[in-house]
Structure 1
Amino acid sequence: MSIQTRAEQLEQDTWDLTSLFADAADWEAATEVMKQRIAEAPGLKGSLEKGKDSFLATMRWYEETGILLERIYNWAFLGYASDASDNTNVRRYSLSASLLSQLSAAMAFFDPELLGIADEIIDGYLNDEDFAPYRVFIEKARRFKAHVLSEGEERLLALQSEVASTPRSTFSDLTNVDFDFGEIDGKPLTQSSLSSFLMQEDRAVRERAYKQFYAVYESSKHAIARLYEGQVKQDIFQAKARGYESCREMAMFPDNVPVSVYDNLIKAVHDALPTLHRYYRMRAKLLGLEKLSHWDVYVPLVKGVTSITPYEEAVSMIGAALAPLGSEYVQTITDGLTKDRWVDRYENKGKRSGAFSSGTFTSKPYILLNYKEDVLRDVFTVAHEGGHSMHSYYSAKNNPYFNYDYTIFEAEVASTFNEQLLAKYMIDHATDDRMKAYIIGKQIDDIVATLFRQTMFAEYEMIIHREAEAGVPITLELLRSEYRKLLELYFGDAVSFAEESDLEGLRIPHFYSPFYVYKYATGLSASIALSKKVLNGTEQDRQSYLAFLRSGGSLYPIESLRKAGVDMQKEEPVRDALSTFSSLLDQAGSLLS
């Protein structure tokens, strides 16, 4: 199982980026246009204050420029993500990031000027139908009034933004390109393939893969700790510069999500830890172990069930599972995942690990995968990323440019919703009780991974940022000790940890997007509630969910989800999801007894 180079990938297995640019020459030409627009930007200073027509003309210019830069950046980013070992891709990605920073600096006057206009004047503009495409954007922008600085200060922050991404990009290059994890029994061990090895029934293989993988992190642990320290310091700098009380408040402010939602999530999960510990005791018993090691917690609960699902078969299964959403939804997603080439399917050298969805207002909603047909989780990953892309598809079709970019808080609902429907379909169509138990076990493990594990990550981020904000030095020892405390708290006494186990805290890429991961947990909680409504409710429940997808970024996430049928300011959705976890444990125990 050698890993292919990018050139060896079959064209039909890769994404078709022509909805962004026809080719590299087309992209290069667009960057020249972008440079001209950046040069024009300072001349727009004062235009917002010259009356309605001038204000409107500037908004239209900003919209056109934003759409162009979004396309330029996304094309370069997707090339970089597909092969970061190609220096041409690195150059283009770096150039696109530089253009983004330059435009931000050139438009530094915009926010202070917008916020300096009297409210009654702005209100008058917003009542004009010509301003309809910009109404939500302007209203949301004005909410930031207390955190927007002077033009000169905004320009400095914009110029600094390119440097601010160094910890994230360095971590990505180090772990995805430079690190060589070797092989296990002739098969390459990588960031992407580790999950496959940890699901092997042979415990010795799991242990070897685990120790061999973390030995590489051990060799660079001080450097990675410094990178994360740099990220945390950058977060603190931004929060202080903009006048937020904390990094967490700054991260949650744009979504208008109260900090209480974060705190309620952690509290509810802590209350449910006895149920999680019951799960690990059950897992140990099923695996015939007195106590689990960290490399034992991902292997499927049911042994002896193999699952080989070729990509095309996975898409067909996903289409059938999503039938409750209607024929238009199903046709669009299955075409996108196959013949319309939204997807870059398989691993190659230099390719980013994991999976993501990333498109633009005018392009296909692209998906990066590292699909492996012998990993059942990867079928769910296709459904998950397909949910993101369908959210983007509906949002771009039904909103103006400034409204189409929805929040991650909402995005994680659309993705895990699809996983819920897929799990229900696979359980209903299981050929025997053993296969049904296998899939229920997979669903249990997904809740562990998304609700419990991501909450543990969220709690870790909160602790480290609080320590740093209190002036405590962020050392390797602090990072490891705090992460080990959480491992022991969440896993309980059924799991023992090796010396290197707390190095896991150094390998989570989402920590470089601060206070992001909690949204996975809240998203799953909301999607469990909404999927039950769609599966068991009325046509109105289905239409309410599709309306949520179409709403894009036109509402704040708490409001859009409330209209869809779930109130995330209340504790009930999270506690109901945790109750579902307990029920699934009971079902698995009954089937396996």
Structure 2
Amino acid sequence: MSKNTIPLRKDVPEKDKWDLSTLYKSDETWEAEFKTLPEYTEKLLKLKGKLAESSENLLSALKILAKFYEKIEMLDNYASLKHAADGGDSKAQNMEGRASMAYAEFSAKTSFLDPELMAIPEEKINAWIEQPEFRDYKIYIKKSLHFKPHTLSEAEEKILSLQSESARTASNAFSLLTNVDLQFGSIKVDGEEQPLTQSTYSVFMQNPDREIRKEAYKKFYKGFENHQNTIGALYGGSVSQDVFMARARNYDSTLAMRLYGDNVPKSVYMNLIETVHKNLPALHRFYALRKRVLGLKELRHYDVYVPLVKNVECKTSYEESVEICRKALSVLGEEYTNTLCDGLLNGWVDRYENKGKRSGAFSSGVYRGYPYIMLNYKDDNIRDVFTMAHEGGHSMHSWYSKNNNPILQYNYTIFEAEVASTFNEELVFEYLLKNAKTPEMKNYLLAMRANDILATLHRQTMFAEFELKAHELVENGTPLSADVLRKIYRELLELYFGPDMVFEEESDLEGLRIPHFYGAYYVYKYATGISASLALAKRVTHGGAKEKEDYFNFLKSGGSRYPIESLKLAGVDMSSPEPVQSALDSFEDLVNQLEKTL
């Protein structure tokens, strides 16, 4: 693919696309499966009011539920993956919407399940789940009962289920606006016009020509400025939806609601912010170093991603990246690396950007299909090697999880997921650093790793603090607007970036373009994840068979434990601020090395 041309979806070679046939061979097969969904609802409705009568009735209901979840997961993933690959594919969008509506309808009609389950006397339900036939459902029941204090009556649960589809309006509209409708124009580089998109923006921010960075920055944020009030209203609506749900379910706050399912104490979230605040001087030193190395009178927001070490060749083909992952992750054994690399080369991945494709990258694990990966891989952006390893970590976590757990307990939490992904990134960094052929390449990698930890730990903590402040405003009766959101975000920019940064008038628009904000209190898990992964990477690479076995037991545990407990199994205690402090110490060590060598 030419770097100056972004192809239409229909022109992308098949080898560069993911193979969705592990889900459905065709849209027609999908349609046939979709038509069977009402059968599961009908079967469950026949058991309404009867779950407490016998263990057989409850077991029958759970088997039907498991089968429905398996089918709806396949249906939704097939449609959503097609839509992610081409936002302009109206058929895929329709299919995704129908799958979502079908799930909402199922949830509404079967809303009696949780209240009935929780109405079963504790002594009776505890005896039932010890029976051998409940082996595949025991954890699911226990985790369901965990929500008993926040489960409403059948009628109330039905009402909440009925609005689940409309609750996604803000997120869906934001995605369509920013990925499909917004146009950013182009930038002239070496006499040729190159398109400015959500995906290419990061490449422009690494261009050594400061005027190109500035032009790309200004044009990019102009697109968001032109729609700031709409985006502000969308995010305000998303936060209001969170507040509504927290109050409807009798949580103390939106934060308490989001942490409750993972059984994560509020102290973990607050300790993260507090610990990062205490260590901001090292971050400010890094930005001061960047200003000196780049020889700038003023460090601007568009200067923070350009490589500190120049003239280092970083072009890496997709296939070369796969081999880097194979070698870097070899400590995990051949089963791990062979499975991952075969998947990366054969059907798991949608590799490159095409028109209408969602920006960024993600992994989407499916119980009865490949653990799919979406990339927008560019061979001139070395970070995309790390992105491949990152998403590969997610997918291998899904692979081990689904192969060691029944469907109702295979889904691990995002809190755990970000450990497996950033663990892989750390091993790739160590491999590339060890094999660096020149001092310049070594410095380049050190600087890049410092930036990556910064992006995952410091920046995501800043995002987490922004989310907390935005939600607290609405909880306390202050409506959100673009102006209010920009004010909160600018104050955080100034706090985190420190005295050496000079911001543009539009810099605080960054807070309006982060898609993760539409899944509230998600981003803090990146920060806790990298903190855990740095500790575990050291433990596995410097340890022996037991340490590696502990890590694989963590990958295999799926959703069988709450995340704090599963990470203790791996060898790290995230209920303590110690792993976060240790990760920040690692960042400061990188800064110290760079201050000496640069």
Does residue 522 of structure 2 align to residue 516 of structure 1?
Answer: yes
Coordinate RMSD, CA, aligned: 0.8
Give the letter aligned to residue 352 of structure 1: R
Q: Residue 353 of structure 2 aligns to a residue in which SS?
A: coil
Match of residue 32, structure 1, among 32, 35, 40: 35
Q: Deviations over 1:410-461 (max 9, x none)?
A: 0000000000000000000000111001011110000110000000000000
Which residue of the partner structure matches residue 415 of structure 1? Answer: 421
Which residue of the partner structure matches residue 11 of structure 2? Answer: 8
Which residue of the partner structure matches residue 375 of structure 1? Answer: 381
Task: Give the conservation status (yes or no) of the 8 Å contact 1:528–1:577.
Answer: yes
Mapped to 1, the partners of 2:508 and 2:287 lie a distance apart of 18
Does residue 508 of structure 2 align to residue 502 of structure 1?
Answer: yes
Match of residue 591, structure 2, among 562, 565, 585: 585
Which runs of structure 2 are paired with 1:35-74 in the superposition (5 Å)?
A: 35-74=38-77
Which residue of the partner structure matches residue 546 of structure 1? Answer: 552
1:297 CA displacement: 0.5
Match of residue 92, structure 2, among 83, 89, 104: 89
Which runs of structure 2 are paired with 1:177-576 in the superposition (5 Å)?
A: 177-185=180-188, 186-339=193-346, 341-576=347-582
Structure 2: unaligned runs, 5 residues or longer: none
Task: Give the conservation status (yes or no) of the 8 Å contact 2:44–2:61.
Answer: no
Give the letter aligned to residue 310 of structure 1: S
Match of residue 23, structure 1, among 18, 26, 45: 26
Q: Which runs of 4+ in 1 moved over 6 A?
A: none
Task: Give the conservation status (yes or no) of the 8 Å contact 2:43–2:64.
Answer: no
1:106 CA displacement: 1.3
1:41 CA displacement: 3.4
Does residue 138 of structure 2 align to residue 151 of structure 1?
Answer: no
Q: Residue 44 of structure 1 aligns to a residue in which SS?
A: coil
Mapped to 2, the partners of 1:118 and 1:529 lie a distance apart of 43
Task: Give the conservation status (yes or no) of the 8 Å contact 2:40–2:65.
Answer: no
1:520 CA displacement: 0.1
Give the letter aligned to residue 255 of structure 2: R
Task: Give the conservation status (yes or no) of the 8 Å contact 2:206–2:306.
Answer: yes
1:559 CA displacement: 0.3
1:67 CA displacement: 0.5
Task: Give the conservation status (yes or no) of the 8 Å contact 1:300–1:442.
Answer: yes
Mapped to 2, the partners of 1:195 and 1:588 lie a distance apart of 23
Mapped to 1, the partners of 2:500 and 2:91 lie a distance apart of 49
Mapped to 2, the partners of 1:260 and 1:223 lie a distance apart of 34
Task: Give the conservation status (yes or no) of the 8 Å contact 1:136–1:554.
Answer: yes
Q: TM-score, normalised by structure 2?
A: 0.98
Which residue of the partner structure matches residue 171 of structure 1? Answer: 174
Q: Residue 363 of structure 2 aligns to a residue in which SS?
A: strand
Mapped to 2, the partners of 1:477 and 1:589 lie a distance apart of 38
Mapped to 2, the partners of 1:556 and 1:113 lie a distance apart of 24
1:304 CA displacement: 1.4
Give the letter aligned to residue 559 of structure 1: E
Mapped to 2, the partners of 1:530 and 1:23 lie a distance apart of 42
Does residue 121 of structure 2 align to residue 118 of structure 1?
Answer: yes
Mapped to 2, the partners of 1:292 and 1:25 lie a distance apart of 55
Structure 1: unaligned runs, 5 residues or longer: none
1:362 CA displacement: 1.1
Task: Give the conservation status (yes or no) of the 8 Å contact 1:82–1:351.
Answer: yes
Give the letter aligned to residue 395 of structure 2: S
Q: Residue 367 of structure 1 aligns to a residue in which SS?
A: strand
Task: Give the conservation status (yes or no) of the 8 Å contact 1:38–1:102.
Answer: no
Q: Which structure shows the bigger proportion of residues in helix conformation?
A: 1
- Paired positions, count: 591
Tell me whether 579-588 or 553-562 shows the greater mean CA deviation.
Answer: 579-588
Mapped to 1, the partners of 2:440 and 2:451 lie a distance apart of 16
Q: TM-score, normalised by structure 1?
A: 0.99
Mapped to 2, the partners of 1:301 and 1:44 lie a distance apart of 65
